[in-house]
Chain A
């Protein structure tokens, strides 16, 4: 079995690069280091994937291949057989299944991602049969969203989400979120730090080739971004930040001009830290309904069809595989364990001046 698929290799490899003192001058990483004032911020620049662990030939996670999408499903349901059909019984019926989905059995086979390994965190402290193992040997990894989207091309590196979302993550101001770690005595090992999460207001600091650079500043959006603010305690072990659960993290995702927000309940971070950047996963139990409708308002059927992402089929899989936050009345799970694989660069977090909160936040 391939324990080091190419994306994982590059992911880990990147972490082993020498720490860069500037964009052009490599310096030897310090064995230990503490940020000035015990405070360091990281702004999210890259949304690498929705926690999808890819192998080069996809045989490990998608042995039966990939799922078909809206265009292919439509062609199967309504073949060009000369039969007259109405818009109501074809296109509008399909769109109705997108906007009023249900959990009836799927008319099409749905290939769930499988295998032993996945990105993620043991969110519930239990190792159960449906859990995965991480590439670094951690057990009990909860990542059922990987099963849902792992064999949908749109959610893989070749898909439109993979290609475009990272660009928008960086470009669109709605998406700007920043973590600040405070009380840091050592970026290598510290048993008690505080992690704060903000929507922030500034463009990313970019180098001449479009690479995102450390050293920029991010002003906290204390007005329209008030609802995003969250805090949790954490610890740093061998340079990896692990947080206790945030009550929830709201992660904005502006796709095609749409301000959607994903909700990660009992969210946790697991990020490899350097003075210049961080990368790893942001995960938790993702609110199923919110994730589903955020997907649909961010991606029209047209764009979803590019990556063979059938919303109606994905919804059924989401509900089938949801593994958290049971509805108190029905007992049905309302959330699914899932992750964003992310990259961040260091940024200075600027808190609004209390006397001019609106003014500063609105700039």
Chain B
């Protein structure tokens, strides 16, 4: 590759991440095709690593279906989930709530109990053959029914019936889920030097230092050459590599001055922003500087926008109204998700309209998709919804709406948001929106403790 073409590639990967206001400038103008690289860890036969659009590399079965774990989680009145080596997801059909979420007691009959599935109906275990052998961090757990189950890092592995295609991660998320015992995708290790980590954000996978400070690069540098000297170093701190560091994957090392080495990623010299608190992205406001992504999430549909709110940058619809996602996990011992259209809708109707679906449509209207809406990715899709049941509808069914969905869950706006950047329904619902409620679609949270 010539030097000219190298520079051209370098500039393409330096995205437009300046503050957005009513535009979609938060994502690169052109699609960036790079995917995150992962460590070639040993795996049993029949498993693989799939690089997903949001979580990056995850372990998957032979079909490419994402594997999930259910790590034990302490709720207010007791733990749920699985301890290492102790799978508990089984054929039990729970009929009453557990009362693990104060202040309400347990013992009340769950919604749609007659058709309620068991845990394994929703989460088929990754069954290991009788002669299967552990390898690396992959071990074999004994299930109570006598069968064997694959585990990674001690936690039993499952697939999700919500995933149809390789690369889908509809069963759970790796981000913050509050005090809810939900499943998490089994993330495969990224190929990053020990000084680095990768954070999953709604915009993509951002490179951070191991202690969670955002990593930056600048358009003022050249491939494998830092131009940040003198006054620049007062604001930007090169990420220094040890003398014994070796290039690996997309990381390499340059010698910025005799004996002083600096990490690069895809030929971009890497820095932290002096004085910036951990996990923030303030440095990307400085002209010419940007956060380093190992990969971007697919850009939201074209009619969406990005708005400035009192907390940071939030995804909005075409009218600038903040977009919300709905989160829900029931309070049975198996903590089944109730946040997608195939699950009982009474939870959502409770918090969006006091139990009245019509009121829900008024207060939390769906974000409508044009009839010809198409998607080229797993994250953003359009689906037909019957707003009176909240469940999926047939195409053009009477009364049905064609709506945008994120991870197969419809997205909404809120009637109390009147101008761009309002976010009056963030954390609307039970337990700050995590157990049964709405969260704003935060792209960058400068003032809140979470969101990205």
Contacts and interface: CB of A to CB of B under 8 A. Distances in A.
Contact of A86 (B109, B311, B426): B109
B355 interface: yes
A127 interface: no
Contacts of A265: none
A305 B424 contact: no
B350 A92 contact: yes
For the complex, would chain B's binding face be called helix, strand, loop or mixed by DSSP majority? loop
A99 B351 contact: yes
B69 to A, nearest CB: 25
Interface string B336-358: 00000000001100111111100
Nearest to B310: A224
Given A92-B350, A97-B354, A224-B447, A256 B432 contact: yes
A289 B355 CA distance: 19
Interface in B326-383: 331, 346-347, 350-356, 359
A291 to B, nearest CB: 12
B446 A259 contact: no
A252 B347 CA distance: 29
A70 B101 CA distance: 13
A90 B285 contact: no
Given A99-B350, A257-B449, A362-B282, A90 B104 contact: yes
Interface residues of A, number: 48
A94 B109 CA distance: 15
Contact of A302 (B101, B347, B356): B101
Interface in A184-234: 199, 223-225, 227-228
A17 interface: no
Contacts of B137: none
B110 interface: yes
- Measured as residues with beta carbon below 8 angstroms from the partner, the interface class of chain B is 35 or more
B286 A359 contact: yes
A173 B103 contact: no
B354 A258 contact: no
Interface in A285-327: 289-290, 293, 296-298, 300-302, 305
Contacts of A91: 97, 104, 108
A107 interface: no
Contacts of A290: 424
B437 to A, nearest CB: 8
A261 B447 CA distance: 13
A174 interface: yes
Contacts of B19: 223, 358, 362
Contacts of B285: 358-359, 362
Contacts of A97: 354
B111 interface: yes
Interface string A166-178: 0000001110000
A261 B311 CA distance: 11
Contact of B350 (A70, A95, A296, A362): A95
Given A87-B108, A224-B309, A297-B427, A99 B97 contact: no
| A contacts with B: majority SS | helix
A95 B436 contact: yes
Contacts of A256: 427, 432
Contacts, number: 135
B431 interface: yes
A87 B110 contact: yes
Interface in B246-273: none
A224 B359 contact: no
Interface string A96-132: 1101100000000000000000000000000000000
Nearest to B311: A259
B166 interface: no
Nearest to A300: B431
A259 B310 contact: yes
A362 B277 CA distance: 12
A257 B432 contact: yes
A96 B355 contact: yes
B109 A96 contact: no
A301 B103 contact: yes
A298 B286 CA distance: 33
A109 to B, nearest CB: 20
Nearest to A91: B104
A289 B432 contact: no
Nearest to B434: A300
A92 B429 CA distance: 11
A30 interface: no
B76 A363 contact: no
A254 B430 contact: no
B19 to A, nearest CB: 6
20 contacts: A86-B110, A87-B108, A87-B109, A88-B346, A92-B347, A95-B351, A99-B352, A99-B354, A100-B353, A172-B447, A173-B447, A224-B311, A224-B446, A259-B311, A261-B310, A298-B427, A302-B76, A305-B102, A305-B103, A362-B282
Interface of A: 70-71, 74, 84-88, 90-97, 99-100, 172-174, 199, 223-225, 227-228, 252, 254, 256-259, 261, 289-290, 293, 296-298, 300-302, 305, 358-359, 362-363
Interface of B: 19, 76, 97, 101-105, 108-111, 275-276, 282, 285-286, 308-312, 331, 346-347, 350-356, 359, 416, 421, 423-433, 436, 446-450
Query: Which 4 pairs of residues, A with B, have the shortest CB-CB distance?
Result: A100-B354, A174-B447, A305-B103, A362-B285
Given A92-B355, A228-B310, 4 more contacts: A91-B108, A223-B308, A257-B427, A293-B425
